[in-house]
A = this chain, B = another copy of it.
Amino acid sequence: MANEEKVVYNAPSEIKEIRVINTYELEDEARKIVPKGGFDYMSGASGDEFTLRQNNEAWNKKGIIPRVLADVEHPDPSTSIFGIDIKVPFIMAPIAAHGLAHQTKEAGTARGVSEFGTIMSISAYSGASFNEIEEGLNGSPRWFQIYMSKDDELNKNILDEAKADGATAIILTADSTLSGNRHRDERNQFVYPFGMPIVSRYLTGSGKNMSLNNIYAQSKQKIAPRDVKFIAEYSGLPVFVKGIQSPEDALLAIGAGASGIWVSNHGGRQLDSAPGSFATLEGISEAVAGRVPIVFDSGIRRGEHIFKALASGADIVALGRPVLYGLALGGWKGVYSVLEYFEKDLKRVMQLAGTQTIADIKKARLFDYK
Q: List A residues at the B interface (Cβ < 8 Å).
A: 21-22, 24, 47-48, 50, 54, 59-61, 63-74, 174-175, 177-178, 180-181, 183, 186-187, 221-225, 228, 241, 243-246, 248-249, 252-253, 256, 265, 270-275, 279-280, 302-304, 308, 345, 348-349, 351-353, 367, 369-370
Q: Is the CB of A183 within 8 A of B22?
A: yes
**Residues on the B chain within 8 Å of A225, using CB:** 69
Q: Given B175, B224, B351, which contacts A177 in the complex, CB threshold below 8 Å? A: B351
Chain B residues within an 8 Å CB radius of A221:
72-74, 351
Q: B65 to A274, Cβ gap below 8 A?
A: yes
Complex A-B: 11 CB contacts under 8 Å: A22-B48, A22-B183, A63-B275, A66-B265, A66-B271, A68-B223, A69-B249, A177-B352, A178-B351, A178-B352, A271-B352
Q: How far is the CB of A239 from chain B (nearest CB, A)?
A: 12
Given A71-B224, A72-B222, are A175 and B66 neighbors across the interface (CB < 8 Å)? yes
Kindly report which residue of chain B lies nearest to residue A20, judged by CB atoms: B186
Q: State whether A69 and B228 are in contact (beta carbons under 8 Å apart), knowing that A270-B352, A271-B349, A352-B180 are contacts in the complex.
A: yes
Q: How far is the CA of A25 from the CA of B329 in the complex (A)?
A: 34
Chain B residue at smallest Cβ distance from A178? B351
List chain B residues, Cβ under 8 A from A352.
Answer: 175, 177-178, 180, 270-271
Q: Which residue, A60, A280, A352, has most C-beta atoms of chain B within 10 A? A: A352
Task: Kindly provide the distance from the CB of A292 to the nearest chain B CB, expressed in whole angstroms.
Answer: 15
Assembly CA distance A248 to B69 (angstroms): 10
Of the listed residues A54, A223, A252, A265, the one surrounded by the most CB atoms of chain B closer than 10 A to its CB is: A223
Contacts of A249 in B (CB 8 A): 67-69
Which residues of B have CB within 8 Å of A174?
A: 68-69
Smallest Cβ distance from A241 to chain B, in angstroms?
7
Q: Are B47 and A181 closer than 8 Å at their CB atoms?
A: no
New contact pairs (15) apart from A68-B249, A69-B252, A71-B224, CB-CB < 8 Å: A21-B187, A24-B48, A66-B243, A67-B246, A67-B248, A68-B175, A68-B244, A69-B174, A69-B228, A72-B221, A74-B221, A178-B352, A180-B352, A271-B349, A275-B369
**What separation, in Å, do the CA atoms of A228 and B170 have in the docked complex?**
51
Contacts of A224 in B (CB 8 A): 69-71
Given A177-B73, A348-B181: A68 touches B243 (CB 8 Å cut-off): yes
Compute how far the CA of A253 lies from the CA of B70 in the bound complex, rounded to whole angstroms: 11
Q: For residue A279, which residues in chain B have a CB less than 8 angstroms away from its CB?
A: 367, 369
Q: Across the interface, do B66 and A223 meet the contact criterion of CB distance under 8 Å?
A: no
Is B73's CB under 8 angstroms from A222's CB? yes
What residues of B have a CB within 8 angstroms of the CB of A21 in the complex?
183, 186-187
**A213 shortest CB reach to chain B, Å:** 10
Cβ-defined partner of A65 (8 Å) among B69, B245, B253: B245
